[in-house]
Every structure is written in C-alpha cells, then in structure tokens.
Amino acid sequence: MRPNINHSKGMKVFKFGGASVNSVERIQNLAGIVKQYQEQPLVIIISAMGKTTNSLEKVADTFFSGKQEDALHLFDAIKQYHINISKYLLVTRFNECLDQLSDFFTEIEWLLHDKPVREYDYYYDQIVCVGELLSTCIISHYLNETQIANQWLDVRDLIRTDNTFRDAGIDWEVTEQRIKMLDVKGQITEKDTSHNSQLSTHTYITQGFIGCTDDNESTTLGREGSDYTAAIFANILNAESLSIWKDVEGVMNADPKQFPDAQLISELSFTEVIEMAFYGAQVIHPKTIKPLQNKGIPLYVKCFLDPSLPGTIIHQKNSKNLPPIIVIKQNQALLHLNSQDFSFVGDEPMSKLYQLFAKIHFRPNLIQTGAINVQLCVDNRSHKIEQLASAAAAIFDVQVEKDLNLLTIRHYNKEIFEELTKDKNIILTQRTKETIQVLYA
C-alpha cells in the first residue's frame, strides 16, 4: 500500500510566479526557500519564467496571422533563452534536462509548421502552455542536482478541463480522482481509487495555468491561472496552507509600481479578496479563493526576496479598518449599445445580451443601462469584442470606444477619490457604499 501524507508534518502547497524564476539567481533563491521545508510534504506550482507567456502570445498571434516562418523565429528565441538558463544552472543533469526540453520544443514547432484551421483560442492554448512546462522542467532538474529530491509532474495528466480554450472549466470529479491516484513515483495508477490515497511524503513540481481536455488537447485557465491551480491542489489534498510567493511584501492596497507609497495589508478575509479580485486586482486570481474558502485553508502571500517578512494572511476572519484599496484596469473598451427602434431596453434585450456573454465566455467589468441604451466596459480583447459586437448587432446599434482605463476604489473617501480623478476625462461613474468605479480616457 502506498504511504499517505503524514498530516502531522503539515502538507503545504507553494506557488511561485514568473517574477520569482526569471533569472538564474532567482531560481537559486527558490531552491533556498524550498530547502527549508524538505522535511514535510510539499507540492510546488511554478509559472512560466519572467515574460515568457507574453513572448509566447506573440508567437501565437504571428502564427495565426499566417506568418509561420516569423512565428518559428520568435519561438527560437524562447528556446535559446531556456537552454541558456539550463546551461548556467545545470552540470550533471544538463543533458537529461535538454532531452526533456527538446520534446516540448518539438511539440510546438510541429504545430507552427502547419496552417491554422481552428479558432485562435485553441492555438493560443497549445502554444502558450509550453512556458510552464519549460520552467518546471529546468527547475525540477536543478533542485534534484542540488540534493532537493523532487518528482516532476505534467499537470495535463492531472487537471481535466472542458474545451473552453483560454478560460477552461475544471472537471473536479476527474481531477480529484487523478490527483489522489498518484503513487510514490508520481505515476498515475489504477490500483487504488479510494479517497484515502494521496500524494506521498515528497516534493512534487508541477505547472500552474494549464490543463487538458478528454481529447488530450492543452487548455489554459485564464491569465494568472497558476494561483487557481495551486488552490485546486490545496483543496483536493486538504493542505495545511497555500503560500503564493511574489516580489512584494504581501498584498498591498494598490500596485506599488503605480503607487510607490502603497501600504501592506497584513490580514484580509476571503470575502474581501474575492471583491478585490472581481474588480481586477492582479495579486490573486478571481477563481483562487473559493477552493480554499470551502475547506478553510489559509492563504499566505509571501515575499520571495525576503522570506522572513510576515506577508499577508487571507482566511475566514472578517477584515477591519482597511485602507482604500485601489485597482486600475488599463486597456479597456466601452461598448455603446443603442436600441435600433428607440424601444426600451427591457428584460428580453438584456437577457439576450447576458446569453451572448455566456456563449462567448466574456465578462463585462461594468454595466450601465439607460432607457434605450446599454454601456458595457470590457477588457479590450479584439477577438471577443468582434464576436460580441457582431452578435449584438442583431438587437442594437453598436459603437466601440477604446483606450480607456477603469479605476476602482474600495473603502473610498472623498479625498482619495478627488486625488485619483483630478484632471481625468471621466466618461462613466458608478458607486455603492463600499466601492466607486470610474471609467476615464
């Protein structure tokens, strides 16, 4: 019988984002953090290195536009970057690592030599998913070389999804079954399907952000989906905690890159973080909290640059005396939908509109309705906007306004609102007792 996790040692799930593994030095720093937890079961979720996802998105865009040779050239730069990182990190395991990397390279190059015949989102997922596979491959080999024993896992063998490419939904039943059927060697086995079968006392390395369909096609869970992956593992394995390692002290009340005087929030409730995520705060993925909240698993946001800092704890307790929390979403578009015959925008047109959003898997960030018009603020994703505008044209006259920004302030006061909207060309405002939103050019 395979050994179960020794819960007395407190199994933990760690997630390291792209910034924490974007250089040789930071990967070595990751090893230093992991080394402190070798005596307890650990599942480590790792994102693509640095800006690799952005680079792979350019490959996908170029390929889909019909420029296969240019796409291959762009991908070659990504290949060389990862090979060079491997050369700096590895000695005894370099050749073994290169063989594994080459399999992933071939998987993408084979696709790029073809011509696109399916929708863009499908190709996006097949190409972009390789970033996490490359990073975890290199880091797993490096940890093993530095005597931090671990098992690399392809998360596509574990997380089963539907075929909603770029925003895949999780098949929880299959995913739970497969994660709990991992044996001590990290292989899928059919020998024991009981709910008591779990990961052994070991360190596992796997990918965030990606999954796989029944047809063995790669999917992604949406940007920042690595946090969600970590929460899935934490939930299924009844982890003691989930720690997300970032390049900031913890959760801040604003993006410190935009607001240098942003302040640390040491403690937050699950409810407050769900609200922050809903309005676009990038620190936690919107889907991450629910799997943790369901089982009362605390989430720690820690600084990988200084692990001794306390960071932020997110748990069931209510948050009190919070400062204004500021979220700015850039690259927004405003859709102006006007009824074609000056009839009121009533239940039926709005119902059809929500059905359109559900059909194309696109969510408005803000909605404002009038007697004969609707205004929708959405992320400026051209493919989705074209789909929505084309379908909505059967009901409305459609106009699109781009290059906008959406400011959200939770726990706002008059002073902070006036300061942040000074000299802004405000297009639309909505407010509740707790939250105010302003769309501006």
More confident site: 349 or 173: 173
Q: How confident is the model at residue 9 (pLDDT cuts 50, 70, 90)?
A: low
User: Could you read off the pLDDT of 12-65 as tens digits, one per residue?
Assistant: 999 999 999 999 999 999 999 999 998 889 999 999 999 999 999 999 999 999
Over range 129-152, report the average pLDDT.
97
* 287, pLDDT greater than 50: yes
Listing DSSP states for 107-162 in one string gives HHHHHHTS---S-HHHHHHHHHTHHHHHHHHHHHHHHHHTT---EE--GGGT-BB-
Please say if the pLDDT value at position 197 is more than 60. no
| Per-residue 3-state assignment (H helix, E strand, C coil) for 288-317 | CHHHHHHHCCCEEEEECCCCCCCCEEEECC
- pLDDT confidence of 351, banded at 50, 70, 90? confident
Express each pLDDT in 414-429 by its tens digit. Answer: 999 999 999 999 999 9
Helix (H/G/I), strand (E/B), else coil: 227: helix
Confidence of residue 191 (pLDDT cuts 50, 70, 90): very low
pLDDT computed for residue 188 by the predictor = 44
Tell me the pLDDT band of 340, cut-offs 50, 70 and 90.
confident
Per-residue pLDDT reduced to its tens digit, 78-94: 999 999 999 999 999 99
| Residue 261, helix vs strand vs coil | coil
Q: What is the average pLDDT across 376-399? A: 90
- Residue 380: is its pLDDT beyond 80? yes
Of 90-94, 141-145, 345-349, 373-377, the range with the lowest mean pLDDT is 345-349
Distance CA 121, CA 116 (A): 11
Q: What is the pTM of this model?
A: 0.81
**pLDDT of residue 187 exceeding 80:** no
- Mean pLDDT, the chain, as a whole number? 90
Which residues are within 8 A (CB) of 151 and not within 5 positions of it... i.e. 6 or more apart?
Answer: 140, 185, 186, 202, 203, 204, 205
Predicted confidence at residue 121, as pLDDT, reads 97
pLDDT level of residue 379 (50, 70, 90 thresholds): very high
pLDDT digits (tens, 9 = 90+) for 204-259: 999 999 999 999 999 999 867 899 999 999 999 999 999 999 988 999 999 988 99
Give the chain's domains with CATH numbers.
Answer: 7-246 (3.40.1160.10), 325-440 (3.30.2130.10)
